[in-house]
Structure 1
């Protein structure tokens, strides 16, 4: 029920934004920018390029807001638009994208930390190593399903060009692969 109310709320915000409500548009941006950001970064873009992609996608939504056929599908529209724009931006870079600077692997190891924080940082590094060792398809699927939630399987299926019915089972296999890697590396 919470998922349905989220979609209803987003649809109401789209309709209000179409009618000129700046507050509704701001609320959409606040609610959905983390999703757009993670889709952009999940497609291998460095921070600066991802910022450009996020801005371009939101500008595109503004231009097409009146043409959005189903206001409840705004999150799905943003996922698809972000993936397309991220691919375009990546091609323009003419090379391999820079590694993410947000990864726990990039944390400096020479700073002093209390023991609990050191243990947590070590666990997080291991988790990110295991996650980054997964096939890219699993990484994308896990990012989208964790951020978008199960109610967004239709949008995730469209964004990843896979049957909707295979999202759950594939997600389960990807999570099992992650769990096996974590167990193999003894990460708790």
Structure 2
């Protein structure tokens, strides 16, 4: 099982506890809020907002269920709230839209990559929780099977099975099949 979080030290903003929590949950939070963001920079901003919401909302965590699940739920709520707020606010251009950079990447390819990443993030979020956690730890955070098993509190064969089932489920999702196949290579 995972180590319990020392909530008192976290509430006191103990740097060591916070660093450990960011290391443990940072990538998972990034993938939870990715579908709500326009691009990776916006995702990084949302992750920062999530950490603020988690720390400010510690008194709302009642100890029912895992802290990780609660923190991920808070993060998803932050993503949803930001998306709703963005839909209410008109966008304003900060740059001259007629200026073109000669060394800019191909906008069409950039858009396709952005859409593929967004589709993959949405698909991963649709997986059952244990498969999603196993995929996030093994494929996204690049942890080996023993580390993945320890992090989610299961045996190594179960962790391997969760990763395989999650990948198989992703491959069956039409919108991300090719993206997953490229990812597995």
With structure 1 as the length reference, what TM-score do the two structures score? 0.51
Residues 169, 48 of structure 1: alpha-carbon distance in 2 compared, 3 angstrom cutoff: closer
Whether the 8 Å CA contact 1:14–1:25 is kept in 2: the answer is no
> Which consecutive residues of structure 1, in runs of 5 or more, have no partner in the other structure?
96-107, 110-127, 153-167
Equivalenced residue count is 141
Cα deviation, residue 72, structure 1 = 6.8
Q: Residue 139 of structure 1: CA displacement?
A: 3.8
**Structure 2: segments with no counterpart, 5+ residues:** 89-104, 107-113, 138-147, 154-163
Q: CA deviation at 1:44?
A: 4.2
Match of 1:165 in 2: none
Per-residue CA distance 1:56-88 (angstroms, 9 max, x = gap): 221122122244222872211121111111111
2:44 aligned residue: 51
**Separation in 2 of the partners of 1:48 and 1:133?**
17
Name the CA shift for 1:45/1:144 in 2 (closer, same or farther; >3 Å): farther
Preserved contact between residue 35 and residue 147 of structure 1 (Cα < 8 Å): yes
What corresponds to 2:170 in structure 1?
174
User: Going by fraction, where is helix more abundant, 1 or 2?
Assistant: 1
Matching residue of 1:141: 126
Measured on the aligned residues, the alpha-carbon RMSD in Å equals 4.7
- Preserved contact between residue 33 and residue 79 of structure 2 (Cα < 8 Å): yes
**Shift in Å, 1:19:** 5.8
Query: Paired residue for 1:63?
Result: 56
- Give the conservation status (yes or no) of the 8 Å contact 1:18–1:65: yes
1:88 corresponds to 2:88: no
How do residues 103-114 of structure 1 correspond to structure 2 at under 5 angstroms?
Answer: none
- Structure 1 match to 2:70: 77
